[in-house]
Structure 1
Amino acid sequence: MRIVIFGGTGFVGLNLAEVLLARGHEVTLYDRAALPLSAQRSLADYGARLKAVQGDITDVDTIDALVAEGCDAIVLGAAVTAGEDLERVSPARVLEINVMAQIPILQAAIRHGVRRVVNLSSASAYGAAGQRHQILDEETPCDPVSFYAISKFTSERSAARHAELFGGDFLSVRLSAVFGPWERPGSVRDTPSLQFQILAAFARGEPALLPAPGIKDWTYAPDAAEAVAVLIEAERPRHRLYNISSGAAWSALQWGEAFAALHPGLECRLAEPDEKTFIKLHGGDRAPLSVTRMADEFGWRARFGCAESAAAMSAWWMQHKEWI
């Protein structure tokens, strides 16, 4: 298949590109940022099957021309992943990129006969409902609170409404607490995972001191990418919304301890009351996401738990130490 990933040189986009290329597809990455040199080297063996196009997500004419060249699937991955600080600075930008910028892409997909569109949403769409339920499935009523959560929930509804009006094959996925290779903070992403922050402390030669254990249904990015690839390739998905999660809750502290055990001299622990830590929690506790829909329909389950992802990330880190 020929697949265009908007936001393709970002964190999730690069993981998805790796998985899709490994499965034999042709991938075009559209992003304002260039393909990083480390990723260029890592993906060089795929040759002409990988193409990177620099452009703004709000450039309607360029995007329409790109889609008109022909593609089988589109992934809507461009987003402002905003914490409270970024929300305060530019709430309009969050809504502009996460909701409004998608509409011309959806309309281009309809106009040019794109077979499948997958919108990357977030578990944050559940919002305050995450504190009222023991597990969150796709039928749980959402109660988004932050601008980011509101924008993600709205993006799902917008994609579904376009599909109803124009007959497009559009899906949304809610990604839960993703971490792993190619993650980096930036001007449109100010909520790095606890795992990234742990590795950043290690890279500075410091112990990773956590303010709290950080329990979530953490999802290793290659797992999330494989789930999205399954949905891209699926002949006739039965639903328009799917949760993607490891399906099990464990702590970032436990992960950091497992990673440190693989590298003598590294230390990850909770900060003492009188110790300062630069590691920040983003978002409160919430219930884990149910992955029953993905498991029952496609047989998909995450392959990486806490120990497995720590070992995999250790191997990746040894090859890409300059990244963090």
Structure 2
Amino acid sequence: MKVLIFGGAGFVGLNVADALLARGHDVTLYDRAELPPSARRSLADYGMRLKAVQGDITDAVAIDAVIAEGCDAIVLGAAVTAGEELERASTARVLEINVMAQIPVLLSAIRHGVRRVVNLSSASAYGAAGGRVDVLDEETPCDPVSFYAISKFTSERSVARHAELFGGDFLSVRLSALFGPWEKPSSVRDTPSLQYQILAAFARGAPALMPEPGMRDWIYAPDAAEAVALLIEAERPRHRLYNISRGELWPALQWGEAFAALNPGLQCRLAASGEKTGIKLHGPYRAPLSVSRMADEFGWRARFGCAESAAEMSVWLTQHKEWI
């Protein structure tokens, strides 16, 4: 298949691209940023099967041109992933990129007969509902609060409504707490995972001092990317919305300890009373996402738990020392 990824040079986009290329597909990355040199080197063996196009997600003419070249599937991954600071500074931008910029893409996909569109949404769409239940499944009523959460929930509804109106084969996925290869804060992403912040402390030669254990339903980005690839390949998905998660809570502190155990000289621990920590939590507690829908329909489960992902990330960083 030929797959076009909007936001393809970003954290999630690169993981999805890697998964798709490994499965034999051709991938075009569309992003306003250049493909990072380390990613270009890492993906070089795929040769002409990988193409990178620089362009803005708000440029409807450029978007239509790249879709018109022909593709079987589109991944909507361009987004402003905003915490409170970015939300205050760029409220309009969050809504413009996460919702309005998708509309020309969807209309172009319909016009050019694209077989499938997968919208990368977020567990944040559940909003305040995440604190009221034990498990969040796709039927749980959402209560988005932040502009980021509102934008993600709205993007799902917009994608579904376009499919209803025009007959497109469009669906959305809600990604839980992501971490892993290619993650990096940027002007459109000010919510780095606790795992990234732990690694950044290690890179500075400092201990990673945690303000709390950091219980979340963490999922290693390559696992999430495999699930997205599976949904792109699926002949006839039964639903328009899927949760993608490890499906259980575990502490980032435990992950940092596991990573440190593999790399002598590193230390990850809870900050003692009075100790300062630069590691910042993003968002309140949220119940874990149910992954029953993905498991029942496709037999998919995340492969990497805490220890396995720490070991994989340790190997990845030996090959990409300059990343953090």
TM-score above 0.5, yes or no: yes
- CA positional deviation for 1:321: 1.5
1:133 lines up with 2:133 in the alignment: yes
Equivalent position SS for 1:3: strand
| Mapped partners of 1:36, 1:84: distance in 2 | 27
**Which residue matches 2:200?**
200
Taking the TM superposition and a 5 Å limit, the aligned residue runs for 1:267-286 are 267-286=267-286
Aligned pairs for 1:297-316 (under 5 A) are: 297-316=297-316
- Displacement of 1:319: 1.0
1:259 is aligned to: 259
Give per-residue Cα distances to partners, 1:180-217, cap 9 Å, x unaligned: 00000000000000000000000000000011100001
Structure 2: distance between partners of 1:319 and 1:185:
20
- Name the residue aligned to 2:113: 113
- What's the C-alpha RMSD, in Å, of the aligned pairs? 0.4
Distance 1:320 1:208 in 2: 20
Q: Which residue number in structure 2 is paired with residue 218 of structure 1? A: 218
1:249-298 Cα deviation digits (max 9, x unpaired): 10000000000000111000011121111000001111000000000000
Per-residue deviation, residues 89-144 of structure 1 (Å, max 9, x unmatched): 01000000000000000000000000000000000000000000000000000000
Instruction: Give the CA deviation at 1:155.
Output: 0.1
Which residue of structure 2 lines up, in the alignment, with residue 62 of structure 1? 62
Unaligned runs of 5+ in 2: none
Deviations along 1:39-85, whole A, 9 cap, x unmatched?
A: 01000000000000000000000000110111000000000000000
2:316, 2:202 → 1: CA distance?
A: 14
Structure 2: distance between partners of 1:258 and 1:248: 18
SS in 2 for 1:269: strand
Cα distance in structure 2, aligned partners of 1:84 and 1:6: 24
Paired amino acid for 1:119: N
Shift of 1:248: 1.4
Provide the residue aligned with 1:36 in structure 2.
36
Give the TM-score taking structure 1 as reference length. Answer: 1.00
For 2:201, the aligned partner's letter is A
**Counterpart residue type for residue 83 of structure 2:** G
CA distance in 1, matches of 2:48, 2:216: 39
Q: 1-side partners of 2:209 and 2:89: how far apart?
A: 28
Give, in angstroms, the shift of residue 87 of structure 1.
Answer: 0.5
Quote the Cα distance in structure 1 between the aligned partners of 2:226 and 2:163.
24
TM-score computed with the length of structure 2 as normaliser? 1.00
Question: How far, CA to CA, are the matches of 2:195 and 2:4 in structure 1?
Answer: 28
What amino acid maps onto 2:96 in structure 1? E
Q: Which amino acid aligns with 2:318?
A: M
For residues 282 and 214 of structure 2, the distance between their equivalents in structure 1, rounded to whole angstroms, comes to 9
Query: 1:31 is matched by which residue type in structure 2?
Result: D
**Partner residue in 1 for 2:231:** 231
Number of positions where the alignment pairs a residue of Structure 1 with one of Structure 2: 324
Task: Name the SS of the counterpart of 2:27 in structure 1.
Answer: strand
TM superposition shift of 1:318: 1.1
Q: Residue type matched to 1:170 in 2?
A: F
Amino acid of the residue matched to residue 128 of structure 2?
A
Say which SS state the counterpart of residue 322 (structure 2) adopts: helix
